[in-house]
């Protein structure tokens, strides 16, 4: 997801979509950094209840980085789609993004690399982070002409 995110951000910058690039860069990038910081602060080990279906990642479990990243990516794209293309298109993007986010969260549980609380915390962290960034940017942006 990181390479795709960098491509999306580069596309916005090349097209000079400054407000969208700002939201996406701060929203997605901040969620990734916050997730990694919390992982090392909490230091929760990964589940060890059953034999793992895949090799365990070397980092900590809480919160789920994959879930946080896809949630931040999806939230940013949903907001941007609604702004740029209107409510019907934005609603379609939001529904598709919610489906993909749910599938990623489920995959983390199915592969037994996270607890449910890890997945929920990753999603909540990103929702709060992106929502806060959107609110802050809306409060600090100049009024539309």
The residues assigned a catalytic role are: 66, 114
Cα 95 to Cα 97: distance, rounded to the nearest angstrom: 5
Q: Are 137 and 79 in contact (CB under 8 A)?
A: no
| CA geometry: angle 66, 27, 36, nearest 5 deg | 45
The CA-atom distances, in angstroms, between 124 and each of 4, 6, 45, 86 are 22, 23, 20, 25
Contact 97, 74 (CB under 8 A): yes
Q: What are phi and psi of 112, to 5 degrees?
A: 60, 35
């Amino acid at each position: 997801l990181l390479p795709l995110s960098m491509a999306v951000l580069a596309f916005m910058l090349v097209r000079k979509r400054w407000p969208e690039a700002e939201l996406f860069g701060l929203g997605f990038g901040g969620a990734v950094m916050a997730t990694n910081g919390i992982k090392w602060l909490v230091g929760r080990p990964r589940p060890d209840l059953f034999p793992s279906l895949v090799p365990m990642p070397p980092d900590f479990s809480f919160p789920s980085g994959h879930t946080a990243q896809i949630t931040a990516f999806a939230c940013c794209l949903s907001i941007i789609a609604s702004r740029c293309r209107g409510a019907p298109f934005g609603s379609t993007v939001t529904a598709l993004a919610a489906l993909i986010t749910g599938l990623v969260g489920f995959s983390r549980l199915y592969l037994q690399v996270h607890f449910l609380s890890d997945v929920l915390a990753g999603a909540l962290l990103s929702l709060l982070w992106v929502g806060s960034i959107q609110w802050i940017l809306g409060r600090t942006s100049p009024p539309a002409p």
